[in-house]
Amino acid sequence: MTCFHDTAKKAINTFAENNPSEKIEGGVIYQYTDVGAMKGIVSNKELWATHFRYLNDENEFKYGLSKTSEKIEELINGGAYRKEETIAFLKSMKNIVENKEKVEELECFYVVCFSEEKDKLSQWRGYGKKEKSICLGFDYESIKEKCKGLENSRYFAKVEYGKIDTISKKLKEYCDLIELNDDGSGLCKDGLFELKKDVFISALFVKEKCWDEEKEWRIVVHRKKDLEFKESDKGLVPYIKFKLDDVAADIKCVMLPKSVFDYGKLSVNMFLKLNGLTFEASPSDISIVY
């Protein structure tokens, strides 16, 4: 009999393989943030991940779960699965997805956002911090490699826009496994927990089509401790700091807004040199004024 738990682990660990032919231009992904975050990344070799409820899309997570509910309903009524255990499993999963507020795990997901877009006006406006803005370019392959492994509770993948291909694939894999095993009831019981977490994580890699210009990649971290708070224009924002090996060494370039470049380049270059980074900051080509 196929081991359900092992199959679940393999499914979770394929996030970065969602787009195997994906080519990242220059091999760099970008994070638009502020100089304070840069200090934490370089000095402490850590990333800051924001609680998913405090990201800038009010439909964050809700959209992914809503589309998942629709897909489950399609599988229930589509006729491909006839086994009672499979249908019961899908109905249980649909109930969990539609009652997301009651699930404890939802309070434990934190997100780090990157973009494929270099020097993008909407990214500066949406994620920069006015005069404190900065854009960091990270080595894509290195970040992907460091995020591998279920034991680290870190997941890295490209965001899907207007579709849930990854979630649909996972649902089908789980249902096919139940259909192919005689002990369907046991698989349903064990698999519900595995698939629940899997779908919740996958839903954090789904956004509406209107956001697709961001070309976003994410790290999602599942953690229940070491919570901190930072100030924002909308009040306190919960976040966590987490180590990612020597993440400072993954920084390949630093960009400052054109309007503050002449003032800020000296101190930023001094800071980079002091921390062993040999390149210098460059100015944005965009004439945005803060």
Q: State phi, psi for 75 to the nearest 5 degrees.
A: -70, -35
For residue 80, the one-letter residue type is: A
> Which tens digit of pLDDT belongs to each residue from 256-271?
999 899 989 999 999 9
Structure tokens at 221: 């971290």
For residue 160, the one-letter residue type is: E
Tell me what percent of the residues of the chain surpass a pLDDT of 70.
84
**pLDDT of res. 189:** 65
Neighbouring residues of 192: CB distance < 8 A, sequence distance ≥ 6: 89, 92, 93, 96
**pLDDT of res. 104:** 61
**pLDDT of res. 51:** 92
The number of beta carbons lying within 10 Å of the beta carbon of residue 201 is 22
Q: State phi, psi for 125 to the nearest 5 degrees.
A: -70, -40
Strand 251-256 relative to strand 133-139, pairing: antiparallel
**pLDDT of res. 8:** 47
> Which tens digit of pLDDT belongs to each residue from 56-98?
888 888 999 999 999 999 999 998 888 888 898 899 889 988 8
Q: What string of DSSP letters covers the chain?
A: ---HHHHHHHHHTTGGGSSTT---GGGEEEEEEEHHHHHHHHHH-EEEEEEGGGSS-TTTTHHHHHHHHHHHHHHHHSSS---HHHHHHHHHHHHHHHTGGG-GGGGGEEEEEEES-SS-HHHHHHH--GGGEEEEEEEHHHHHHHT--GGGTEEEEEPEES--HHHHHHHHHHHHHHHH-S-HHHHHHHHHHHHHHHHHHHHTTEE-GGGGGG-EEEEEEE-SS--EEEEETTEEEEEEEEE-SSGGGGEEEEEE-HHHHHHHHHHHHHHHHHTT-----EE-SS----
**pLDDT of res. 140:** 95
Could you tell me how far CA 59 lies from the centroid of its own chain? 15
| Overall average pLDDT of the 110-139 stretch | 92
pLDDT at 17 over 90: no
pLDDT at 29 over 70: yes
| Overall average pLDDT of the 200-228 stretch | 91
Q: Of the ranges 6-10, 94-98, 180-184, 256-260, which one carries the lowest mean pLDDT score?
A: 6-10
| Overall average pLDDT of the 44-50 stretch | 90
C-alpha distance across the termini of the chain, in Å: 62
Question: Could you state, in order of their start, the residue ranges of all structural domains in the chain?
Answer: 4-283
